[in-house]
Structure 1
Amino acid sequence: MSNSLTSVELFAGGGGMALGTRNAEFEHLALVEWHKPAATILRHNAELHPNLWNKDDVHEKDVRIWLKQTDLKEGQVDLVAGGPPCQPFSLAGVHAGDDDDRNMFPAALDVVRKLRPKFVIFENVPGLTRPSFSPYFSYIRHQLEKPTVTPTEDELWAEHDARIKKARPRSLRYHVTQHLIDAADFGLPQNRRRVFLIGIRTDLPNADTWPDKIDGEFSRDALLYDQWVTGDYWTSHGMAMPVLPDGMEERKRELKELGRPEKARWQTIRDAVVGLPEPVNGVDAEGVTNHRGIPGARAYPKHSGSPFDWPAKTIKAGVHGVSGGEAMIRFDDNSLRYLTVRESARIQGFPDDYEFPVARSRSMGAIGNAVAVPIAELLARRLRNHVGL
């Protein structure tokens, strides 16, 4: 692309962030991912779609090792993006935080210090904003704001944080904002809340006017209105309006009185799977990759599946690649079936021609860990437009 800027994708996983930033016309100079199945997905799609990235630029190694070995220098990279592994901060994790070896924020910040990109996009789970972790998350943000104020050997993070706050560096600085984004508010058929740290180098035009809040253009109430006031949702799927669910009568009256919201409606699982054949257990669908039915779906406590006519619950990676309840559809008759890999990929915004040539558990892990593609594209595109690039 003639209008491309350059980027480095850290913790690239299955490629969600990389696809989104590529759609926003960033050319990837490196995609760093230590996990072999995820790196395999990245290389496979590079061969399928050479316009995405070069398979030789996929580095299957630890970010810290890559940083020591890379020839990339300051001035060559416009964007550093990625989701530093979030296990230390996940609600399902062990809550070790800064002391957890899986905390890769220090490595990600070291990449910023070396390459000094124009933009930074870091994504993580909302658990980072819980009271028990918010001081450390603020510390991460302060480091990104003043990356030249580096930690000293054996300095405790709280001591370093205090020193950063007092420092007035004249060199590299970033305007940093924090955003809690639900993918459903931006048109994805999934309730997926993630925290984004956005950094803009302060020597760029309009760096300090990047908005503190980013609003989506899709609405929960618009979906409810289209379902239970006008029935337009069902009509769009060639269906008659079902019987009003128990407890919905009063809500319907409220929606009717308020009128339809101006925003578009949330998208649902039914919206997401339009055009896909009904999966058959153990059989690959003809003409659709990664669309094979999986038997054995069942509900258990706190894992009851996602209603078909509502955004999916968050697609998660899980310890073994698939987190049960979030990877199931629950139909109106309360029957259940697993989402296929292709359906899960659609829910995360991956295009149908993007393939996952690894075992289902590894594919689902890569999809669950990914940044939703359209969210990455929206943020990257808005960043470059904001500064006029």
Structure 2
Amino acid sequence: MPELREERQEVGTCVELFAGGGGLALAVHATGFRPLLVNEYAKRACESLGANPPDPDEPEKRWPLVPGDVREVDYAEHVTEGVDVLAGGPPCQPFSLGGVHKGMEDERNMFPEMFRAIRELRPKAVICENVVGLLRPSFKPYFDYILNEMRLPFVERDKEATWEDHNEILEKLLANDTVEPSMRYIVKEMKVNAADYGVPQIRNRVVIVAFRADLGVNWSRFIPKDTHSEESMIRSMREGGEYWDRHSEVADDVKKRVIANLPDLDYEDPEVQERLKLKPWRTLRDAITGIDENEGKPLPYVTEEAVREKLEVGGIPDHIGWPGARMYTGHTPNVLDRPAKTVKAGVHGVPGGESVMQLDNVNFTNFGGGSGYRYMTVRETARVMTFPDRVVLAGPRGEKMRQLGNAVPVKLGAVFSGAVADALKSVGALKRPEKESD
């Protein structure tokens, strides 16, 4: 993507928790924040972080990785200077629609560790990403408590108190406005769809951004606005549209089928008119052909032989065929001319076809399943997550897909980390790159 290709200018420091394969860490680093500490628990994800430097131009520099249980991290030992941004996505399984829905009772709920990190590091800003399951009615009270504890992280919960009891204390303090600004945070939560920011994937998430209140940041000026829309994508796919200029390789019969299935647009609707001013959503076909920093670098075609023999295609790491894809009710494949479905980790069983792709060639045999579709390669999935092709994940196929499913799309992370950087610069809380100096 352009923001990862440009010369990087350091503007501040960051700490990354629950780093996974490094999606959000890559985004925050590319924005200009130097990592002071990166924590991850999963063995394979730690191997991925260790194998991929933050900056390809400085391969000798590695992530300052502190592996292991975040509950055992001693921040004073590893972080010896001020932290500008704390970023991370606490494990989402407790709140995921695909999980067992234990929420705050689940031992994997790591939000308390985010609050501990805020207390001990006192960052100027916090970026937290999680699943929209947090907004379900059953979890909404606890989500409100999460926001309140992030607003007042230094008011520690008594070990004997329930979260409901602690929330009452927090709400009274917030209502009375008696806590000094340096000891509280201004918090904003936003429901976002990654596709609206140029990610070739439908991925609905909650992004929480917090700023230390004494900084006086006016976040409303910097909240990222949608840059892409479904309406513009539909228009671009009409006969003679720009989408087909980009994909001139598509056979006429395929193009006609796609056009015939396009929904109608009400061009008189003011909301539709506004959405048409945005760029088109990116599709799975766009990702495979190459977008942003991969523009002009199409992934080579995966043949039936490659699928049958599990062969690497074109010498590209992780672009390996895989047999046995299946399609049935509740397990339908991605289509090429839409953003991909949400990439999932698949921890709780077989996902709903998110790793399967419908092909233009209806006779394609995938060996062990049916015809006309196949499993996506890890590299294709990484492109859907907007990871640079240079990032090669560790472990067998299942572990690589798990890392991608748990990650934050790099492009989505860059949108929000860039906005946070701009907000902090606006109040003089970050150093400005030399090219921006007066």
TM range (shorter): over 0.9
Deviations 1:217-252 (A, max 9, x none): 101011111112543212221144733569857x44
Match of 2:387 among 350, 354, 376: 350
Amino acid at match of 2:419: R
Structure 2 residue 250 is the aligned partner of structure 1 residue 234:
no
Does residue 38 (structure 1) correspond to residue 48 (structure 2)? The answer is no
Return the TM-score normalized by structure 2. Answer: 0.82
Counterpart position of 2:366:
none
Deviation at 1:51, TM superposition (A): 3.7
The farther-off stretch of 325-334 and 237-246 is 237-246
Distance 1:47 1:265 in 2: 30
Matched residue of 1:298: which SS? coil
- 8 A Cα contact 2:287 2:383, kept in partner: yes
Partner of 1:107: 113
1:224-373 pair list within 5 angstroms = 224-228=234-238, 230-238=240-248, 239=250, 240=252, 242-243=255-256, 248=261, 251-252=263-264, 254-255=266-267, 261-274=276-289, 275-279=298-302, 280-281=306-307, 282-319=310-347, 323=351, 325-331=353-359, 333=362, 335-373=372-410
Q: CA shift at 1:330, angstroms? A: 1.4
- Residue 321 of structure 1: CA displacement? 9.1
The reply on whether 1:184 has 2:195 as its aligned counterpart is: yes
Equivalent residues in 2 for 1:140-219, closer than 5 Å: 140-167=146-173, 168-170=178-180, 171-205=182-216, 207-210=217-220, 214-219=224-229
Alignment of 1:117-136 (within 5 A): 117-136=123-142
Q: CA shift at 1:82, angstroms? A: 0.5
Whole-angstrom CA distance in 2 between matches of 1:90 and 1:134: 13
Matched residue SS, 1:323: coil
**CA distance in 1 between partners of 2:421 and 2:46 (Å):** 28
Q: CA RMSD in A?
A: 2.5
Establish whether residue 61 from structure 1 lines up as the match of residue 41 from structure 2. no
Quote the Cα distance in structure 2 between the aligned partners of 1:320 and 1:87. 9
Structure 2 counterpart SS, 1:242: helix
Shift of 1:129: 0.5
The one-letter amino acid paired with 2:277 is E
Name the CA distance, whole Å, in 1 between partners of 2:59 and 2:184.
Answer: 31
Aligned pair in 2 of structure 1 residues 203, 216: CA closer, same or farther (>3 Å)? Answer: same
Are residues 252 and 97 of structure 1, via their aligned partners in 2, closer, same or farther at CA, if it must alter by over 3 Å?
closer
Aligned-pair CA distance for 1:255 = 5.0
Q: Per the alignment, do residues 226 and 255 of structure 1 end up closer, same or farther by CA in structure 2, a change over 3 Å counting?
A: farther
Structure-2 change in CA distance of 1:209 and 1:382 (3 Å): closer
Find out whether 1:378 has 2:415 as its counterpart: yes
Q: Following the alignment from structure 2 to structure 1, what is the Cα–Cα distance between the partners of residues 60 and 417? A: 17
Hey, what's the Cα distance between the residues in 2 that align with 1:164 and 1:47? 38
Q: Residue 403 of structure 2 aligns to which amino acid in structure 1? A: A
Deviates more, 1:214-223 or 1:154-163: 214-223
Q: What runs of 5+ residues in structure 1 fail to find an aligned partner?
A: none
The answer to whether the Cα contact below 8 Å between 1:229 and 1:256 also exists between their aligned partners in 2 is no
SS class of match (1:300): coil
What is the TM-score of this pair, normalised by structure 1?
0.92
Count of aligned pairs: 386
In the alignment, residue 367 of structure 1 is paired with which amino acid? L
Q: Distance in 2 between matches of 1:21 and 1:108?
A: 17
Given the superposition, is the C-alpha separation of residues 278 and 322 from structure 1 closer, same or farther in structure 2, using an over 3 Å criterion?
farther
Cα separation, 1, equivalents of 2:74 and 2:244: 52
